[in-house]
């Protein structure tokens, strides 16, 4: 959305009395969200109100949410019966695709839309860029008004601040663990003792990879990962084991 501002560029004076003739020039500002965070979006509110409702389980009812959305004048309502943690909310994606510039998406409350504050901010920011408004009935939040937009940007700033604190704390914790000599990352699936035990069991033809994996409490793929010679067959494993166990020749005495 382009923003405009006016600039006074000329002043004329007449003898005897002062007459100001002001000429205004309209200038285009950069199309950047940071240029005016409180600019009205949508500028033209002639579009439709489109509602979105959601309950977490199929046993819950949508009646109360749909009634509230209908009362405020939503011409079309989409609804999901899925947990907010589920990213596959088909009706929400249909609602976002249905919206057009000038429309406003209305939800009963903020927790019906976003899985987290970051998810909520991402969705509403995407609507803003498309010229679509957003309103939440329970919180009385309406981004088509200056007050609503201000509150929403405060939410966004707090979310970013919290994210940076989490990242900073995580990095400091990792640095402290490295300084203590702690091993970072996932623990190994098999200990060196288990690998030696697996190799010993694999030398006996009656032992299958499946039975050894069950005995050690790991998967077949883990056995193959920690005993890579096994991929060439039992013969290749036996040859590798025999070669590894060959005694090294003694160094000649000088």
Which entry of 34, 56, 116, 211 is annotated as an active-site residue? Answer: 56
Q: Which one, of 190, 225, 50, 68, lies nearest residue 137 by Cα?
A: 68
Measured distance CA(7)–CA(75) in Å, rounded: 42
Torsion angle in degrees (nearest 10) through CA of 104, 110, 111, 112: -20
**DSSP letter, residue 111:** G
- Specify the DSSP element, H or E, that contains 237: helix 234-245
Q: Which one, of 253, 171, 189, 182, lies nearest residue 227 by Cα?
A: 189
Measured distance CA(89)–CA(76) in Å, rounded: 17
CB 133 within 8 A of CB 42: yes
Measured distance CA(52)–CA(66) in Å, rounded: 8
Scored b (16 or more CB within 10 A) or e, 122-142 reads ebbeebbebbbbbbbbebebb
Catalytic, 56? Answer yes
Torsion angle in degrees (nearest 10) through CA of 35, 38, 44, 45: 150
Q: How many helices (H) and strands (E) does the chain have?
A: 8, 7
The residues annotated as belonging to the active site are 56
């Amino acid at each position: 959305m382009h923003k405009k501002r006016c600039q006074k560029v000329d002043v004329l004076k007449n003898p005897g009395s002062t007459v100001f003739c002001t000429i205004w020039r309209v200038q285009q500002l950069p199309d950047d969200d940071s240029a005016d965070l409180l600019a009205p979006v949508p500028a033209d509110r002639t579009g439709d109100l489109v509602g979105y409702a959601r309950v977490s389980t199929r046993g819950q009812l949508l009646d109360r949410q749909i009634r509230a959305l209908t009362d405020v004048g939503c011409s079309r309502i989409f609804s999901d019966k899925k947990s907010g943690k589920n990213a596959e909310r088909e009706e929400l994606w249909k609602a976002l695709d249905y919206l057009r510039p000038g429309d406003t998406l209305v939800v009963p409350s903020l927790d019906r839309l976003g899985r987290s504050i970051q998810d909520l901010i991402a969705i509403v920011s995407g609507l803003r860029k498309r010229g679509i408004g957003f309103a939440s009935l329970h919180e009385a939040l309406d981004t088509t008004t200056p007050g609503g937009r201000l509150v929403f940007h405060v939410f966004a700033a707090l979310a970013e601040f919290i994210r940076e604190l989490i990242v900073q704390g995580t990095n400091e914790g990792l640095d402290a663990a490295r300084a203590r000599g702690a091993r970072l990352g996932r623990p190994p699936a098999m200990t060196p003792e288990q690998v030696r035990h697996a190799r010993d069991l694999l030398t006996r033809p009656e032992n299958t990879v499946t039975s050894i994996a069950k005995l050690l409490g790991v998967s077949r793929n883990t056995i193959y990962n920690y005993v890579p010679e096994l991929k060439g067959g039992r013969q290749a494993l036996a040859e590798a084991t025999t070669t590894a166990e060959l005694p090294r020749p003694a160094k000649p005495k000088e």
